[in-house]
Amino acid sequence: MLNKGAITLKSRLLLAPMAGITDLPFRLITRSLGCEFAFLEMISARSIVHQSGKTGRMLNSCEEDSPLGAQLLGHEPESLLEAMDKVLPRGFDILDLNAACPVDKVVKKGKGSSLLKDPKKLQTLLAAMVKHADLPVTVKIRAGWGSTSVNACEVARHAEDAGISGLTLHGRTREQGYSGRVDYNIIRQVKEAVSIPVIASGDALSPQLIKKMFDETGCDAVAIARGSLGNPWIFRDTMAYLEKGVIPERPGPDELTDTMLRHLNLSCDFYGEKRGVILFRKLFAWYVKGLHEVRQLKDLAFKAETRQEMQDLMESVRSYTYSHHEGYYEGFALTC
């Protein structure tokens, strides 16, 4: 059980916020396969303040998309609080501040993991958000800025002093980005240093790795990000593995293809056919990653312009997987 402020979750798995990925269609697919709590895509506080059309769509949700968290990107109290005034009426369950994004264009502006360099400033930002909000406020951080500045415990203590309800820790430094090993030790140290829930992040790519994360760190929950790309079944499979020690069989040809079709239709209905198909191209590639000899199908998917063209390609995936029987998905466990 994970208790984040006023939120009590049965599952110890969350869908992490991913820019350009965790939109409403993506979240609905993962929820249908065991995801209980999800985050929107990371959203710039300034974009919310300026009310861009794209940002408005990113904030959209529906009755089935609950409980739900919103993650803000920002470094100025004024813009963060103004953005909160526009976000809070939408009924989100948790509000998170991103202090973990390692992307150059983000940190150069003093946002994301740049905030790790000044724990007291981060504490001030979080304290202002906590005071302004009527819901649990959390923060996502990293192990530190670099190998010589691993300060997650210090940052976590300052964040806790700000009154937050929980934190997510990616076990890599900003310097590492998404490469190199996740440091389980720093996650355990942070868990022991604070009394609020600690959610672990980084390389949650399979049920086995997620169990290892729990065992090695003592964390309260795990946030799944890249592990869900093309594999929304990771939530269902991990819960089964944690509870029974057995991973369900991999999705067969019909389940794989039907899930892809449902995801495509959700995307087209949400964005309109043209943009929905374009955005689904990368999703197609992720879904078929691990399938043997499907390079041609992926190439065709990146040229598809209509819903029907993409649907036809998915039926080709169905036919291909049936014709190759047991051997069609040998790489799946390694790539998810």
Domain 253-335 has CATH 1.10.240.10: no
- The secondary element (H helix, E strand) that includes residue 28 is helix 24-31
Place domain 2-244 in its CATH homologous superfamily: Aldolase class I (3.20.20.70)
pTM of model > 0.95: no
Q: What is the mean predicted confidence (pLDDT) over 256-275?
A: 98
**Number of alpha carbons in the 13 Å side-chain half-sphere of residue 85:** 9
- The Cα angle at residue 221 between residues 219 and 223, in degrees rounded to 5: 115
41-93 pLDDT, tens digit each: 999 999 999 887 778 889 999 999 999 999 999 999 999 999 999 999 999 99
> Does 121 have pLDDT greater than 90?
yes
Return the pLDDT at 335. 33
101 as an active site residue: the answer is yes
DSSP codes, 59-79: T---TTS-SEEEEEE-S-HHH
Q: Where exactly are the structural domains of the chain? A: 2-244, 253-335
Instruction: Catalytic residue, from 35, 62, 101, 268: name it.
Output: 101
User: Can you tell me the distance from the alpha carbon of 322 to that of 112, in angstroms, rounded to the nearest whole number?
Assistant: 45
Query: Is 120 in contact with 158 (CB distance < 8 Å)?
Result: yes
DSSP codes, 161-195: HTT-SEEEEEEEETTTTT-S---HHHHHHHHHH-S
279-324 pLDDT, tens digit each: 999 999 999 987 877 788 899 999 999 999 999 999 998 887 766 6
3-state SS, one letter per residue, for 270-333: HHCHHHHHHHHHHHHHHHHCCCCCCHHHHHHHCCCCCHHHHHHHHHHHHHHHHHHHHHHHCCHH
The candidate with the shortest Cα–Cα distance to 111, out of 25, 46, 155, 177, is 46
Asked if 2-244 and 253-335 have one fold, the answer is: no
